[in-house]
Chain A
Amino acid sequence: GAVVSQHPSRVICKSGTSVKIECRSLDFQATTMFWYRQFPKQSLMLMATSNEGSKATYEQGVEKDKFLINHASLTLSTLTVTSAHPEDSSFYICSARGTSVPDTQYFGPGTRLTVL
């Protein structure tokens, strides 16, 4: 099946620093990637949708200058949390969608971000 990886799986950083999270589709070309945020015992909240080669579309209430998304190739999207603060601590999950099965999103294993 389609495999999506995320790196790192866990990161701890100091307040004010920036953190980059990578999302890769390993065995298919992802025309669209999605970034979600999930708080403990809650559902997934879509942050933004990124299409390869174009600017990401952010959901209402998500600061695009805070959460920088780059989808530079058909297999890689990155999310950079800039000037991180403790309230940014969360579980960030990406998903990828290809052209062969456009209705299905394949999810990465998630990245646990802790900002001290």
Chain B
Amino acid sequence: SQQGEEDPQALSIQEGENATMNCSYKTSINNLQWYRQNSGRGLVHLILIRSNEREKHSGRLRVTLDTSKKSSSLLITASRAADTASYFCATDKTSGSRLTFGEGTQLTVNP
């Protein structure tokens, strides 16, 4: 069963705006990862944040992790139409164990 919940389920913004997606989980984790999926395609790995990290940056992406609240957020700054996709968080309990995916957020960036 999916332990991750993401909100919002759908987000529509204008190009240039920032997009924030949230993910919550229920059990203790080793890592939390964010993936992007374009419609009808596979998943692209975006960023991994370890349970002992609080914030991580990669280009226009900023990920935060709050293990006390069992939640994470993904911020995409200066969004582009090409950022339109579904975004999933995924957690694992131990290094190399199975991933459990959240329900995903559908992001639409309007040009």
Contacts and interface: CB of A to CB of B under 8 A. Distances in A.
B32 to A, nearest CB: 10
Contacts of A91: 40
Contacts of B41: 109-110
Contacts of A46: 98-100
B44 A107 contact: yes
A28 B100 CA distance: 23
Contact of B98 (A43, A49, A109, A110): A49
Interface in B64-111: 88, 92, 95-96, 98-104, 106
Interface stretch (A11-19, A68-76, A81-89, A97-105): A97-105
Contacts of B48: 103-104
A69 to B, nearest CB: 15
Interface string A42-60: 1111100100000000000
A109 B44 CA distance: 9
A112 interface: yes
Contacts of B40: 91, 110, 112
B43 A93 contact: yes
B31 interface: yes
Contacts of B102: 43
